[in-house]
Each structure stands twice: as structure tokens, then as C-alpha cells.
Amino acid sequence: MVGKPVIRIKMVWVFVFYICAKFFTHKLLEMPTLKSALAALLFCALYQHVSAQQADSTRVASTFSGNVGLTTNGFSIVPTFSLNAPAAVMQLSWRKKKFSFDPDFRFTLDAKKGSMLFWFRYHAIEKKRFHLRVGIHPAYNLALRTITENGIASDVTQARRFIAEELAPSFRILPNWSVGMYYLQGNGLQKDGPQVTHFVTLNTSISNLKLGGGFQFQFNPAFYYLYLDGQDGWYFTETATISRKNWPVMLQSSINKVLKTGITGSKDFLWNVSLSYFFNRKYLAEKI
């Protein structure tokens, strides 16, 4: 059977150009309505690219994976933005071909503070050594805010809305050693709170270091730059993971250290310890 022609123009590169332009201008296309419209257009274009290809197999695989755990301090994607309290974390992923939907939930144990991210990701390039992923998400951030009513002050949980896009290339040097870059650009969708965020990291991952007894160690250090509404800073962060082959449980610890910053409210040093249960399921279905 002759397959349908492949669309040659990969819209992922339009997305890459767009978010790189945002990083260098800070002001380009910041209107929420225009941003949402462009995001929807790019997502549809990427979907069209994939759906225009004829698969060789009669069975289409999808995967459902994730992890659920507890941590002594809930870190955000940007480690500077921590919850500063014990938290529950749940990260899920449903993937089919090159697309994935990755919800990310982090809440303090009293549910007064936290975040909900709904990632839509496209895994554009997946070669033996080089990977490139792009994504976009709407998000809700929950934070405490003090209000005064009838002369009485009280704390309430306020939900703020955000939208952000990411670019994540990585290069594998050795089977257990890779280096990469991560760029996240976010915009607040209300007048109060953070408005414009740029987050850029240079990172590396050293994995599958044998510890004996089936245990293995993974080390993920990174340097990052953070821009937030005219203020900026430089930081170091690192996550260490201990796991065991065929065990669905892993132990992690993360740190975040200020190198130089002008961002109000940045804490000099943050750390946490996390215990997580993870799973990965693959499903096969007949193509219609």
C-alpha cells in the first residue's frame, strides 16, 4: 500500500524560532489572546504533520506512565519557586507516537498552595544521540494571599493563571552521559503576580552508576539563568536519584543555590528529599 505523502515543512521549527525570538525581545507577542491563538495554530500544524504520514504497522502503541510521591519541600520546574513546605507530587504522561499529554500536580499537604500544569508536548527529533522536544502548557498556581474584610485579616488561596512554552534539546555523549539545554518562557494572565518569565538551563545527566546490590545512582546538575519582570539571577541546582532495578520506588534529593541574583524573595539555599512510586504501561490497539 502506498502511504500518503509526508509534509516536508516541519512546523516545529516555526515554534523553535518563535520562542527564541521571545527570549531575545522579551516583548514579542506577549498579548495572551495572540499567544493562545498562535499556540493553537502551532499545535494543529504539528498534528497535521504527524497525521499526514502513513504508518507501516497495523498496531499503534501508546504509553501511560508517571510517578506519585511525597517531598519535604515542593520544588517547581523553576527550583527558585518552591512551596517551602512538605508536598505531594503527581506527574503523569500519556504518549502516542510523537505527542504526549503530561499533567503535573504539586500541592502542599494542606492543599493551600501548589500548582497544576497541563503539558502538551511534541517530541520532534529522537535520534540515537540527539533529542529535541517542544511543548506548551496552561497552568494554575495556588498561593496564599492576605485580605482584610470588615477589619479582619485572613489568608485565602488565590489561583493565578499562566501559559508557557518550552524548548528542550539534548545530546547523548555516552550511553550514560548526556548534556542539554532547557528554555521555558511564561506569561501571567492576570495583572497581579509575575508577568514575564524566562528560564534557561545548561544541564547534564550522568545515569546508571552501579552501587551494588542492584542499586544505581543518577546525578543531574545544572546552571540556570532566571529573568522575572525586569529582575534576574544566576543559580545552581542538582538532583540526585537512587533506584533499584525492577523496584518501582526511587529516592531523590534536590538542592538549589543562589550564585548571583537581584530577584526579590530568592532564598540563598533550598533542598528537599523525595520518595516516589513510578510506573510505565504500554498499550497496543488495532488501527481503524
Amino acid identity for residue 100 in this structure: S
Asked, for residue 191, whether it belongs to a domain, the answer is yes
In a domain, 41, yes or no: no
Residue 8 maps to a domain = no
Assign residue 182 the CATH number of its domain.
Answer: 2.40.230.20
Q: Are the beta carbons of 172 and 142 closer than 8 angstroms?
A: no
What's the CA gap between 41 and 51, in Å, rounded? 15
Q: What is the pLDDT of residue 13?
A: 53
Domain assignment present for residue 43? The answer is: no
Position 82 pLDDT exceeds 70: yes
pLDDT at 34 over 50: no
Mean pLDDT across the stretch 260-287?
91
- Tell whether 250 is covered by a domain: yes
* 262 within some domain: yes
* pLDDT one-digit tens code per residue, 272-284: 999 999 999 988 7
What pLDDT is stored for residue 17 in this prediction?
54
pTM of the complete model beyond 0.85:
no
Percent helix, strand and coil across the chain, each to the nearest 5: 10, 60, 25
Q: Is 90 left (phi over 0), alpha (psi -120 to 50) or beta?
A: beta
Section 112-136 average pLDDT: 95
For residue 154, the model assigns a pLDDT of: 84
Across the range 240-252, mean pLDDT stands at: 95
Q: Which pLDDT score is estimated for 227?
A: 97
Rounded Cα distance between 161 and 130, Å, is 33
Quick one: pLDDT at residue 22? 52
- Average of pLDDT values for 133-158? 89
| Residue 180: domain span | 62-281
Mean pLDDT in residue range 5-28: 49
Instruction: Report the percent of the chain where pLDDT is more than 70.
Output: 78
- Residue (of 201, 273, 270) closest to 241 by Cα position: 273
Task: Give the model confidence (pLDDT) of 180-197 as tens digits.
Answer: 999 999 999 998 889 999
DSSP 245: T
Number of domains in the chain: 1
Which has more confidence, 282 or 103? 103
pLDDT bucket at 147, cuts 50 / 70 / 90: confident
On whether residue 156 sits in a domain, the answer given is yes
- All three cell numbers of 45, joined, read 500544524
Whether the per-residue pLDDT at 96 is higher than 80: the answer is yes
Mean per-residue pLDDT over the chain, rounded:
85
**pLDDT surpasses 80 at 43:** no
**Is 35 contained in some domain?**
no
